[in-house]
Amino acid sequence: MTVIAALRYRSVRPSRVRNGPPVSILKPLSGVDDGLEENLRTFFEQDYAQFEILFAVRTAQDPAIQIVERLSASYPNIAARLLVTGEPPYANAKVFSLDTMLTAARHGLIVMADSDTRVTPDMLSVFAGEFRNPHTGLATCPYRAVPGRSFWSVLEALGLNTEFIGGVLMARMLDGMKFAIGPTIAARRETLVSIGGFDAVKDFLAEDFVMGKLAAACGCGVILSSYVIEHRIGAQRMQANIRHRLRWVRSTRRSRPWGYVGQLFTHPLPLALLACVAAPAWWPVAAATALLRFVSVWATAGPVLGDPLTRRFWWMLPLQDMLSFAVWIGGFFGKTIIWRGHKYHLLRDGRFELIPSSSPGH
């Protein structure tokens, strides 16, 4: 089914429109991630007629400001502005930055892109082609994860480029796009107004998922864009990587609880290997499962994402699958997460609250 879902996605080929509607790109920043300057440079180099880039930082001391100023000076023909937002009044600082930039943005087509994304010069022209359809209100981008120099980040990237994207494609095929996924989202301004603006998602950890869910619920068409971005996930060590994964799965469990339970079926290889340990005579089942797993890997990481990492480290996939299965089980437990050095409490509906560092027991 993953192979079929991948083929259906690949069959969509929208045209590129270089002279489409003007675009406002919103870039929330916080500190200097690995490769930040090159990531941001790719947005300055868009081959598109009219666009602006807005950057937002929390304080005037943020080191990312120097990079933004250097790039703005290098590309004087690109309209770029930097906003200092101050401390956010609610838990999701990223949403506060996006809301501040949206108020200042001049154009009607909005592209929200995280600091760890890298794109090619035709990104905006692909979006413009997709938004020629008047029923398209929001487009969410699949992404090809690129790891840093860390064994754990390589494992995570393999999972994102095979297991995660496979689940997204399956959801698209079976139920349509009723959600959005993170690093880069494009939307009409009127779509954001229809869902209640960023105020409607400010209390959620997975604000991207909720944004797509609300857009679909109000009748604004949500699509999985044909444009694949690069998502630079950095080089986390084991402890930080596990915390990051747990934050992600705990958020997913609260955003889509029954879908999270259904992810059991996205872990066939660990289940088959466990069955083999319990009953060695079942080894043909494990062999057949491994074969099907690698066929689905080829369909997603190859034709869909064009991922060289999976071609190089395909032999590490069983280890990644076992780790992912363990983290999935861990996602059923715990109500707290660590995000950018702060501790938060996750509520049942996917909202989250900051836990003050002075609270008793924390």
- According to DSSP, residue 357 is labeled T
What is the mean pLDDT of the segment spanning 186-196? 97
pLDDT at 357: 67
Asked whether residue 7 carries a pLDDT value surpassing 80, the answer given is yes
pLDDT at 255: 76
Asked whether residue 18 carries a pLDDT value surpassing 70, the answer given is yes
Asked whether residue 359 carries a pLDDT value surpassing 50, the answer given is no
Place of tokens 């602006």: 52
- According to DSSP, residue 132 is labeled T
Instruction: Return left, alpha or beta for 235; rule: phi > 0 is left, psi -120 to 50 is alpha, else beta.
Output: beta
pLDDT at 360: 44
Identify the residue with better confidence: 357 or 324: 324
Percent of the chain with pLDDT over 70: 98
Overall size of the chain counted in residues? 362
CA angle 54, 60, 65 (to 5 degrees): 50
Instruction: List, for residues 79-103, the tens digit of each pLDDT value.
Output: 999 999 999 888 888 999 999 999 9
Identify the residue with better confidence: 256 or 297: 297
Strand partners, 355: none
Question: Comparing C-alpha atoms, which of 96, 182, 193 is closest to residue 137?
Answer: 193
The pLDDT mean for the chain works out to 91
d(CA 284, CA 270): 14
Residue 17 Cα distances to 22, 138, 237, angstroms: 11, 17, 42
d(CA 201, CA 338): 19
CB 343 within 8 A of CB 250: no
Residue 313 C-alpha from the chain's centroid: 22
> Can you state the percent helix, strand and coil of the chain, rounding each to 5?
50, 20, 30
pLDDT at 180: 95
d(CA 122, CA 119): 8
d(CA 207, CA 184): 12
Compute the Cα dihedral for 326, 274, 3, 172 and give only its sign: negative
Contacts of 343 by beta carbon, 8 Å cutoff, 6+ apart: 336, 337, 354, 355, 357, 362
Residue 86 C-alpha from the chain's centroid: 25
pLDDT at 307: 95
What is the mean pLDDT of the segment spanning 287-310? 93
d(CA 287, CA 279): 14
pLDDT at 340: 66
Residue 201 C-alpha from the chain's centroid: 16
Beta strands in 143-295 (DSSP E): 143-147, 184-188, 221-224, 229-234
Instruction: List, for residues 221-277, the tens digit of each pLDDT value.
Output: 999 999 999 999 888 788 888 888 888 888 888 877 888 888 888 888 999 988 888
Confidence of residue 361 (pLDDT cuts 50, 70, 90): very low
Identify the residue with better confidence: 255 or 204: 204
